[in-house]
Amino acid sequence: MSLSISQAKRTCSMTKKLWQFPWGYPEAALFAAGIILVGFLLQLVVGHFNFGLLHYPANLIALAILAGLIGLGTCFQNSLFSRWIAGIPMAVTLTAALLSFALYMELTPQLSRIPPQYSDLVSRLGFRMVTSSWPFVLLYTLTLIALGITTLKRLLRFSRRDISFLCNHLGLWILLASAGFGAADRVRVVMNVDLGETEWRVFNQDNEALELPIAIELKKFTMEEYPPNLTIVDRQAPPDSQPDGKSSLKFFQIDPKRLKGQIDDWAITIDEYLHTAVRVGGEFIANPMPESTPAAKVTAQNLLTGEVKTGWVSAGGKVPGSFFSDLPLDERLSLVMTQPEPKRYASDITVTHVIQEDVTLFDATLEVNKPISVGNWMIYQYGYDTTLGKLSRWSAMELVYDPWLLPAQIGMYLMAAGALLLAWNGANRRRVSK
């Protein structure tokens, strides 16, 4: 039976001319190619798609037009054209086209804005910023139309066995629509606040000052660190050929649970570790003052010669006056300590939020992965002065405003339900279309 269908299809496609209904893959591929071509032409003529045009309420109007097209396609769902637009060949073609663009983005560096001096053909065709190039935007929109008609059709003749299909496709549609059409309304700015100061100005990408209904005072910046690594360096090698603190086998992590280890031919034992220490005489003693540094008393034994070296190594802090020290192993090699990596950093802040005449004030601790929300804004711990580390005198906070977050999240929840159903049911429940 399935054989006869595929045979029938084959004879059908042999006798059917291109663009003679019913359309299938060749027409979908040509159509998509045409859309992409139009996109490239538009890109050459008008440049990148200007998402700024889609500010509220323009994006609502654009969405309404899109919904109208989808409604129209659904009204005429039995027409051969509508069945083709909302059919599998189109879905596969669009997915493949978007995949190709994504592959290109993956393989070449993408920019977030194009400097004016970039005028080669690659830039003019939009390849340096694919996600806002016309071909990509048109494909995205076409996908929304195709996906929309497919979904609405099934939604209208709802059946319980379509739940998984509906969760996946409706969820994806809502997510794509709010991510794409909401892009222009999203605001992301970074605010740098100095210790003890209150800041209300922020600057956008174009260095224009923006006024926000939010002011932030930085009361305290704190950081906890991991114990650093030990490594062996060549004192005669040029500085830039030294290990950089990342994945090389030559590092020994100072770990309170594991005090013995090995680097190359040297067995290492940590006799004592102080995270904040200052040097007094030839020794280090614990002291939390700003000039402190991590320091360890180490015994290193050469496994080949049996030679033993003992002494203090310290990383050196980030302010003048803190002491760096290495442990010379022979006339060329030294045991040294890397800078510690941050474990947790946080800003104690006071937020002032102004809504018309109302002013609310509250205290909060801002930490990575623990944003706070203020009205329609979310505030994130973004950065600090890395040259000073835990002594940083300022903290950078990112403020994000996204009125389309809720619909995007609804889409994601629907998709999560769809994904659970897929994982649970496997391919058993699907209906193979005829």
Q: Which stretches of the chain bind ligand HEM, using CB under 6 A?
A: 86-88, 91, 94, 143, 146-147, 150, 165, 168-169, 172, 430-431, 433
Q: Side-chain half-sphere of 257: how many Cα atoms within 13 Å?
A: 0
Using rule CB under 8 A, residue 428 touches another protein? yes
Residue 144 contacts residue 66 (beta carbons within 8 Å): yes
Among 124, 153, 186, 353, binds another protein (CB under 8 A): 186
**Token digits of residue 260:** 């013995």
Between 69 and 223, name the residue whose CB sits nearer to ligand HEM: 69
Q: At what angle do helices 58-75 and 134-156 cross, to 10 degrees?
A: 50
Nearer to ligand HEM, 349 or 414 (CB): 414
| Per-residue binding letters, 128-167, with another protein (x by CB under 8 A) | ---x------------------------------------
**CA-CA distance, 203 to 201, in Å (whole number)?**
7
As measured in angstroms, the least distance from the Cβ of 253 to ligand HEM is 41
Q: How far apart are CA 35 and CA 135, in angstroms?
A: 7
Q: Which does 209 bind (CB under 5 to 8 A by kind): another protein, ligand HEM, none?
A: none
Contacts (CB under 8 A) with another protein, residues 312-351: 341-345
Task: Give min distance, CB of 251 to another protein, in A.
Answer: 5
Question: Contact with another protein (CB under 8 A): which of 44, 46, 102, 237?
Answer: 102
- State the minimum distance, in angstroms, from the CB of residue 184 to another protein: 14
Alpha helices, DSSP H, located in 259-383: none
Residue 397 contacts residue 347 (beta carbons within 8 Å): yes
Q: Are 124 and 149 in contact (CB under 8 A)?
A: no
Residue 303 interacting with another protein (CB under 8 A): no
Q: List the single partner that 288 binds among another protein, ligand HEM, none, CB under 5 to 8 Å by kind.
A: none
The answer to whether residue 210 forms part of the interface with another protein (CB under 8 A) is no
Give the separation between CA 242 and CA 231, rounded to whole angstroms: 10
Half-sphere exposure of 88 (CA within 13 A, CB side): 3
Residue 95 Cβ vs ligand HEM, minimum distance, rounded to whole Å? 6
96 binds another protein (CB under 8 A): yes
Reading the block at residue 373, the tokens are 């929300």
291 binds another protein (CB under 8 A): no
Provide DSSP, 315-337.
E--SSTT--EE-EE-SSSEEEEE
Q: Which residues pair with 269 in a beta bridge?
A: 260, 299
From the list 2, 78, 119, 356, which residue makes contact with another protein (rule: CB under 8 A)? 2
Report what 92 binds from ligand HEM, another protein, none; CB cut-off 5-8 Å by kind: another protein
Q: Quote the least distance from Cβ 87 to ligand HEM, whole Å.
A: 6
Give the type of residue at 240: D
Q: How far apart, in Å, are the Cα atoms of 145 and each of 59, 121, 141, 357? A: 16, 30, 6, 44
* 150: partner contacted, choices another protein, ligand HEM, none (Cβ within 5-8 A by kind): ligand HEM
